[in-house]
Amino acid sequence: MNNNLVLLAGRILLSVLFLVSGAGKIGAGPTFAGMLGHMGLPAPLLLAYLMGLFEVVGGAALVIGVQTRIVGVLLAAWCVLTGVVVHIGAPIDLMKNVALAGGLLVLAASSPGSLVLRTTWSRRDRLAAMAPSNATFNS
């Protein structure tokens, strides 16, 4: 089994909920804001859009493999927070959030694998790419 493919599949599967849910919050901002306002949360429309943006950006970061350790921890905390605040009266939804948090923490503790989008190369990577195959570089 190719661990890099498994890690990519896991990142994609974990991200789907955040991408879809976040896009839904953005697309139905005023409606979702009404629910947030009913819960007594401040600035519900702004909060609705910020929540949606956080979920979309976090989900996208998981898919492309950018800062997966940090994003994994942030999204895990998000799952626990929203589970306790929003889903406390719905045990199945709460357990879904707890399970997601667990998966995200496992991802945060591991590597994203090699199938990631590299947005920048380190100086060492650039030098290695330009050098003959037998050259070595010290950091």
pLDDT 10s digits, 90-127: 999 999 999 999 999 999 999 888 889 865 555 566 66
Q: Residue 52: inside a domain, yes or no?
A: yes
Q: Please list, residue by residue across 98-127, b when 16 or more beta carbons sit within 10 angstroms of its beta carbon and e when fewer do.
A: eebbebbbebbeeebbeebeeeeeeeeeee
Do residues 12 and 28 lie in contact, with contact meaning Cβ atoms separated by under 8 Å?
Answer: no
Q: Residue 18: inside a domain, yes or no?
A: yes
Alpha-carbon Rg for the chain, nearest whole angstrom, is 19
Q: Residue 136: inside a domain, yes or no?
A: no
Do residues 54 and 30 lie in contact, with contact meaning Cβ atoms separated by under 8 Å?
Answer: no
Share of the chain above pLDDT 90, in %: 76
The rounded distance, in Å, linking the Cα atoms of 80 and 116 is 26
Answer yes or no: pTM beyond 0.85: no
Q: When comparing pLDDT for 138 and 44, which is higher? A: 44
Q: Choose among 68, 67, 64, 54: nearest CA to 22.
A: 54
**Could you read off the pLDDT of 58-79 as tens digits, one per residue?**
999 999 999 999 999 999 999 9
pLDDT of 137 reads: 52
Q: Residue 32: inside a domain, yes or no?
A: yes
pLDDT of 74 reads: 98
pLDDT of 32 reads: 96
pLDDT of 111 reads: 85
Structural domain for 75, as ranges:
3-130
Do residues 137 and 124 lie in contact, with contact meaning Cβ atoms separated by under 8 Å?
Answer: yes
Q: Residue 79: inside a domain, yes or no?
A: yes
Domain count, the chain: 1
pLDDT of 117 reads: 85
Q: Residue 137: inside a domain, yes or no?
A: no
